[in-house]
Amino acid sequence: MTAAHTRTLAPSHPRPLVGVPTQTLQAIDGIPEQLPRSWVMNQRYFTALTYVGAVPVMVPLLTDDDESLRALYEHLDGVFLAGGVDIDPGSYREDKLDVCGRTDPDRDRVELMLTRWALEDRKPVLGVCRGLQVINVACGGSLVQDVAPDGGRFIKHDYFPNQGYARDFLAHEVNVQSGSRLGAIFQAETISVNSMHHQGIQRLGDDLVATIRAPDGLIEGIEGTNGAFLLAVQWHPEMLVETDAGTRRLFDEFKAAATEYSARNGS
């Protein structure tokens, strides 16, 4: 039995409900389009959230039923934005280039809507990898559609499992801004991270600050500026939560913020 299943919480600590939007199965490379449409999500995100005491729930991509989606959102104490396929550049008013990979318009719409609702309500949001990019786009920012190192601007960021890399492979270091909220969480100016992405932030969104960067300058961590819990990292901390103290604090802080939101709003 894993640690994620053996940890227990005292009854005095209510467990917050955290929404995790799903992904359309057919948006994943190699999945035939003619199959009946399905919604899926990597289970590792859920085990990482339960490890710190949150209760994750899958959010369906109800693109034609905003009323039901809003009703589900109202029950959530926090929103977790996971990794996944590329965001359609139309979401940030740019044309799609050949280097952009497969997209999932239904997921884009639902995640952007949930993020904007949460920002308005000051509901805690934690994003990882694609989730960082969703938050940036929701705040009016844009993305680099491919950060391949060929042109010399970027280091290698795409250490994907289908290339033989383990999902917890620590690919490169990032620099953490001291005095920032993420700096307080990781308690180090330099940390090693895994890296499974080929897109990144181009123009930073409104009311966001970049507090973690890769050696090439690419933004790897962002946080909101209004005091609400709004944090995101470009790597995949769900793979490191059981082994790295700083990562565990990141999830613990998110869970604590969601718990506080629940207590404050009676959700």
What are the residue numbers of the active site? 129, 236, 238
Angstrom CA distances, 86 to 33, 130, 134, 187, stand at 17, 7, 10, 31
Q: How far, in Å, CA of 198 to CA of 220, rounded? A: 12
How would you classify the pairing of strands 219-224 and 200-201? Answer: unpaired
DSSP code for 154: S
How would you classify the pairing of strands 55-59 and 17-21? Answer: parallel
Q: How far, in Å, CA of 115 to CA of 134, rounded? A: 8
Q: How far, in Å, CA of 197 to CA of 160, rounded? A: 8
| Neighbouring residues of 67: CB distance < 8 A, sequence distance ≥ 6 | none
